[in-house]
Structure 1
Amino acid sequence: MSTFEHEQVLIRTGQRSGLPIIVAVHSSTLGQAVGGCRVRQYADWRDALADALRLSAGMTAKCAAAGLDNGGGKTVVALPGGVTLTPSLRRDVLHDVADAAASLDGRYATGPDVGTTPDDMTVIGERTGHVLGRPLGRGGSGDSSGPTATGALAALRAVSGHLHGTPDLAGRRVAVVGVGSVGERLARMLTDEGADLLLSDIDPAKRALSAELGAAWDDPEQALTADVDLLVPAALGGVLTELIVPRLRCAAIAGPANNQLATPEVADLLHERGIIWVPDYIAGAGGVTYAVTVELQRGTADEGLGRVQAIENTVTDLLTRARTTGTTPAQAARELIERRLRTAATDPGRR
């Protein structure tokens, strides 16, 4: 990273856990920064810092593109190799995270991410109110995988409309790579839509889902390059590399996985091949959109769902603008984000 663009980065040793607690606030230009709490093993704590910086910037883009009055942040807890997260240590970690978030005086609210759950947010909520994504029974918005999958489906409908003149996904060949909590929900939704599914996951036990849904199955490498209409990355990021682009046989890519591009230049390579790529921070914005609407804005569940489904309109407008201007959807999205941030910075009342 050649320049430092974050508003604030907090790095501290957890008072209880003794582990590195990192909170990165990328931007609060649009409003309170939001972003999940990631707890996972890292070879070096500086790798965790790089993750926090990158992911918090992605959250700024996600919120801005989704029309939310929120900025981007991220919490990352670096677990050294070989450390077992016992129930006792887990509670210590969560309370350390809560204290770190509370020390920012409301500039940032955390939520679930890799390695944490809605129940964990309840524990964090014992020490700070700057938290979202708690269970439904605790006044929260619940598991974000459902809204995230719903938002990804909305993006796929928009892409289908752009390519075929109709958002109908019946009969479309769709490869879903990664069928974890979000990918599985999305696969079930696509089955209900009548899509012709190919599923894939690094966990061979997930193959049972393909049998249940009547979908084809292949390993991730083959699924990425399958001859399909729509490719849906729904696992970890970095799968779209310069080496994989020439082998792709899809018309478009849209999915909920974060940081799908190995490098920003891959977006241009996809454009050169005539493959539409919907930026992941737009296709995957359903979870944060729902949680912010329901928990921070005190909206109803129906209002939250309506804003998630509006991702279809966002993607449609984005693809139309990209086609009209002859640019990539990624560039059109960046211009949208920059315009919102610039307007908010100069005229907060119009953000």
Structure 2
Amino acid sequence: MAALLQQFRSLPSWYGPVALLAAAYGLVPLVGSNYLFEAILLPFLALSLAALGLNLLTGYAGQVSLGSAAFMAVGAFAAYNLNLRVDGLPFLGSIVLAGLVAAAIGILFGLPSLRLRGFYLAVSTLAAQFFVQWALTKFSWFSNDSPSGVINAPRLQIAGLALDGPVARYLFALTVVAVLTVLAWRLVQSQTGRNFIAVRDNETAARVIGVPVLRTKLLAFAVSSFIIAVAGVLWAFAYLRTVEPAGFNLDRSFQILFIIIIGGLGSIRGAFLGAALIVVFPLLLSRLGSALLGGLFDSGVLDMSQRIVLGALIILFLILEPDGLAALGQRLRRRLSPTLA
């Protein structure tokens, strides 16, 4: 047993993610139920990607944003309209172009970061949330003149292969999330990532050592918006299978912000840990509440009770572990192997 534990301790740090990814591709599609894919894994993947994008902006670059759901909406509606109005454009091309559209809008709303910081910057990014929702509701062209504003997302189709079932949509979302996560990891390990951290820690010191602060901030907004927009495409096309402004409201922005706070700011792993807690824990509370109190209270009271319990537990967790789940996992890993960093 001791020898086995020693071998486990000596494994490189990337073995864990690779093993999880292999299980996600090879094992989960074989044993997972439709409920697992539709209610847990698809929203988990979309929210994880959105949290990853926000963490690059807030956790690494130190720029607070409350408009994440707006950029998810931009990505979803841009992909829908590109797919609808540009003949012959592959769906993957629609996703990339939608991300670029969101990146351009992200730069526009990131311009106040050149003058504002902290709470004031958060309020300015909140304007993006209200402006995007207003525009999508006001101008029916974005929703193809749908009377309700709710439109069915087109079929996911890659190279002529239709991705209709939950397993196919899950594998598509998993691939997109895996590719963007690797690219984000490479980014934070590069000089650009070090520039992000320098700006976050001290703008004045970063400027003194030659970091292009203004360009770094705008790049952080652009990259973050691109990733969040792709998450919006996954949320609308793979999970909800509808494109509607109500799916990207202010609550969604706060949900993504809570994910990175709970998971851990400045941690790629934290985006996934926080999303797992936010997605799974309410489902567990719902099942437990229905089993214990379903006969005493109606669904509205149960839903409000779940929100109160979840909020209280989040506050308690942040008091006990303010650095998030990623720091907690790192601490446990160090206890198992004191020689690991």
Q: TM-score, structure 1 length as denominator?
A: 0.30
- Which structure dedicates a bigger proportion of its chain to strand? 1
Greater Rg over alpha carbons, structure: 2
- Which structure dedicates a bigger proportion of its chain to helix? 2
Q: TM-score, structure 2 length as denominator?
A: 0.31
